[in-house]
Structure 1
Amino acid sequence: MTSSIGNVASLAARGAGSVVRHVRAVVNPSAAHPAAAGHSASGWLVVTVFVEPSELDAAKLPAPLAEFGDRIEVRIQAAPGGKGTELAARLRDRPRPGGALSRLSGQDPEAGLRSALRRAKQLIEVGEVLAVDPVPHGERTATPGGAFLEGWTKAAPKGGVR
């Protein structure tokens, strides 16, 4: 019984922390995103790709990254512990980082780059961009949970993990 109370308390504490971070992002965006809190002060977005560094060439980027052209900087280096290669990219004209609300509303300027990095990783490792099966055809009864899930599914490819 005590462990279930501890689990509930832990979930409540995490939820409260999340609410505080969102409020701080709205009130003072620079204070809500210090470099150590998950958003790199340098602006580099990084994915680890399971290939040798010699197999990647910054001049011949996969299509999702190549579409950005000169608007991005790319860095390729060996991942720590011999775990593949770090493929890093950042926008040359770095906008002010968006908060959680801007990310959820689709207004995050780095969203396209995050999505392109994930698609490039998939192209390098698998040879294609993996996609979720489409929603079944027909009409569904609208529910609050269903609307939330559909909205989240549309925003997820640009959201990334922080």
Structure 2
Amino acid sequence: MKRAIIGALGVAAGGVAVARWLASRRVPAAFEDEATRWLGVTVNRSQDEIMPGGRVPEPLAELDAEVRVNRAPGGRGTELYARPREHVPTGATAVLSRIRGDDPRQAVRVALREAKCVAETGEVLRPDAPIGTTRPTLPGKVLDAALRRAPGEGRL
């Protein structure tokens, strides 16, 4: 009984610590709202090569997104920016939508990466599929879940 109480107190203390940490990471209202933030990539091509005739690159044209193009500093290519036009969830709803994979920003991130690949190499580059283990283990399942989520976020 004593171990159960100590364990419950430990879990509660951990929850309070995580809540405080998350609260400290909140962006003040003076900063740009998450829903209106531009997502961007730098492409090693000129603006005319990225948007010939002013047309939006193919992966971004399929989305309902605003697109902006700037010259990169120092003549190092072009900065390609986009943001979704649809409502972007914030707060706890944003966390849940990212976990479910239906956050509109994830689609914009994927489209930006694909537009960069098409502009620089002519095709969308995909990594080889990871080789699975012969016996499923708990750490392997966690890694598989992270690898499934990584393409939507752009990183592991």
After TM superposition, is the score higher than 0.5?
yes
Residue identity opposite 2:48 in structure 1: S
Aligned twin of 1:159: 153
Aligned twin of 2:123: 128
SS class of match (2:59): helix
2:38 touches 2:81 (CA, 8 Å); kept in 1?
yes
Deviates more, 1:149-158 or 1:53-62: 53-62
Greater C-alpha Rg: 2
Counterparts of residues 7-156 of structure 1 (less than 5 Å) = 19=18, 23-24=22-23, 32-34=26-28, 42-57=36-51, 59-68=54-63, 71-97=64-90, 99-100=94-95, 102-136=97-131, 140-156=134-150
Q: Distance in 2 between matches of 1:36 and 1:82?
A: 32
1:73 touches 1:90 (CA, 8 Å); kept in 2?
yes
Residue identity opposite 2:78 in structure 1: T
Percent of aligned pairs sharing the same letter: 41
Q: TM-score, normalised by structure 1?
A: 0.67
Note the residue ranges of structure 2 that are not aligned, 5 or more in a row. Answer: 1-17
1:22 touches 1:100 (CA, 8 Å); kept in 2?
no
Structure 1 residues 99 and 36: alpha-carbon distance in aligned structure 2, compared to 1, 3 A threshold: farther
Aligned twin of 2:4: none
Residue identity opposite 1:124 in structure 2: A
Q: CA RMSD in A?
A: 3.3
SS class of match (1:55): helix
Q: Distance in 2 between matches of 1:126 and 1:136?
A: 26
Q: By how many angstroms is 1:134 displaced?
A: 2.1
**Count, aligned residues:** 136
